[in-house]
Chains A and B, each alone.
Chain A
Amino acid sequence: MSGSLRPGPLPATPADLLRARDRDHLLRTELTRVREAAVAWRNGLGALLAALIGFSLIKGRADIGQLSQGWAVGVGVALLAALIAGAVGALLLIRAAHGRPRIASADTVLPGRAADHMEALAAATMLRRGITLTLLCTAFLVAAVATTWYGPARHRPALRITTPAGTVCGSVVRVDRGTLVLRTADGEIATDLTTASAVQAVETCGG
């Protein structure tokens, strides 16, 4: 549109020149500043994750099969969420740092400085989302590891003792002078090991 502007109501002042120059400088350097910030965040967050994972600064049980089933599923979900958040976050950070190759119609391409401004705004948005998702990835990783540390074990070790009086199965409470006390479903039962004909370690007493 043409003719929609009006002259300023007052004569311009040196302060107007400074404002115009400051704004021009900000716009000229806007995309470069966002790219530099994105590269710095990408490198910093990448190094943080590499240190956490690569150097085993966070490490839980080697086998999450030792966790009770519900907690093991929770760990799996947390790890999956960490993987997704980390992958998307990394892509967004790379997108913010380096842009996205795109083929556009020559008729719709914005003028150079406007295109740079729009790209700077888009890159800043991607950078913000990338930072959030990468930190979220770290949080999910920490949650998964903490769960493997503090989650309840699937079951306690159990022994099945066969004696002439019958078979007793339960977790070990104590051993005292040849007498083994097991915690069973019926309470604590003492068994004389000297009469045992078989001692078998079992995963569960059921069945």
Chain B
Amino acid sequence: MAAGTTPREPLPYVEITDEDYGRRAADEFTVEEVHSGTLILRGPCPRCRASLEIPVVSTIVHHRSFGRHLRRVHRPRAADQVEPMMCTCEDDHPNRPNGHYGCGAYWTVVIPARTS
């Protein structure tokens, strides 16, 4: 914190969306394919501005479909994918329920097929 400035009050946790969130995320987030079927979306939360690093994966180990996963075959996405996203920061946001992450902001972005 710079001298002479006052600490900013953390935004309270509110489950909220705004059409502008998707636009800002599309403009500010970067996409990196770290492995086949695994993308990392990086950028600031459109609401609280915390730095986010959100994995988007095509396969996942899931208890109910454990066997199916174990026989998994990588299925590349054929079309553009609408991805629901939310703030997952671990910053302090008052009123956040236990076990939750982020400031409560959520939005969607479209990941073009060529990057997914």
**Residues in chain A within 8 A of chain B (CB atoms):** 1-14, 16-17, 19-21, 23-24, 26-27, 30, 33-34, 37, 110-114, 117-118, 120-121, 124-125, 127-128
Contacts and interface: CB of A to CB of B under 8 A. Distances in A.
Nearest to B82: A8
3 pairs of A and B residues whose beta carbons are closest in the complex: A8-B108, A7-B22, A16-B84
A191 B42 CA distance: 97
Contacts of A8: 22, 82, 107-110
B108 A33 contact: no
Nearest to B56: A23
Contacts of B9: none
A206 B63 CA distance: 65
Most buried by B among A27, A117, A120: A117
Interface string B26-47: 1101111011001011000000
A22 B60 CA distance: 12
A111 B107 contact: no
Most buried by B among A3, A20, A124, A128: A20
Contact of B38 (A21, A23, A117, A127): A117
